[in-house]
Amino acid sequence: MSHGVIEGYAKAAPDLVTQFGAIDAEAHLAPVRAFLPDSPARVIDVGAGTGTEAVWLASLGHSVVAVEPVVQFHQAGAIEWREDRLPDLQLIMAGAQRYDLVLALGVIQHLEPQEQYKSIETLNRLTAPGGRLILSLRHGPGHPDRQVFDIDVDAILDCAACAGLTLCSRQAAGSLQEANRAAGVVWTWLVLDR
Ligand X SMILES: C[S@@+](CC[C@H](N)C(=O)[O-])C[C@H]1O[C@@H](n2cnc3c(N)ncnc32)[C@H](O)[C@@H]1O
Q: Give residue 49's Cα distance to chain centre.
A: 9
175 by DSSP, 3-state: which? coil
Given a contact cutoff of 8 angstroms between Cβ atoms, the answer to whether 171 and 188 are in contact is: yes
Verify binding: residue 31, ligand X, rule CB under 6 A: no
The yes or no reply on residue 1 touching ligand X (CB under 6 A) is yes
Residues 152, 124: Cα–Cα separation, whole Å? 18
Considering the rule CB under 6 A, would residue 13 count as an interface residue with ligand X? no
- In the chain, DSSP finds a helix count (H) and a strand count (E) of 8, 7
Residues 116/84/168/165 CA torsion (nearest 10 deg): 70
CB of 59 to ligand X, least distance (A): 16
Smaller CB separation from ligand X, 92 or 163: 92
Name the minimum Å distance from CB 79 to ligand X. 13
8 binds ligand X (CB under 6 A): no
**Segment interacting with ligand X, rule: CB under 6 A, options 47-55, 120-128, 163-171, 178-186:** 47-55
Answer whether 134's CB lies under 8 Å from 189's CB.
yes
69 touches ligand X (CB under 6 A): yes
Give the residue, chosen from 44, 64, 105, 133, that forms a contact with ligand X under the rule CB under 6 A: 105
Question: What 3-state class would DSSP assign to 5?
Answer: helix
Single out the residue of 162, 131, 66, 59 nearest to residue 105, CA to CA: 66
Task: Name which position in 29, 55, 79, 107 contacts ligand X (CB under 6 A).
Answer: 107
- Near ligand X by CB under 6 A: residue from 62, 82, 110, 132: 110
Strand partners, 67: 46, 82
Cβ neighbours around 102 below 10 Å, total: 27
Q: How many residues bind ligand X (CB under 6 A)?
A: 19
Q: Which is nearer to ligand X, 73 or 99 (CB)?
A: 73
Q: Does 49 bind ligand X (CB under 6 A)?
A: yes
Chain residues in the site for ligand X (CB under 6 A): 1, 5-6, 9, 20, 46-49, 68-70, 73, 85-86, 105-107, 110
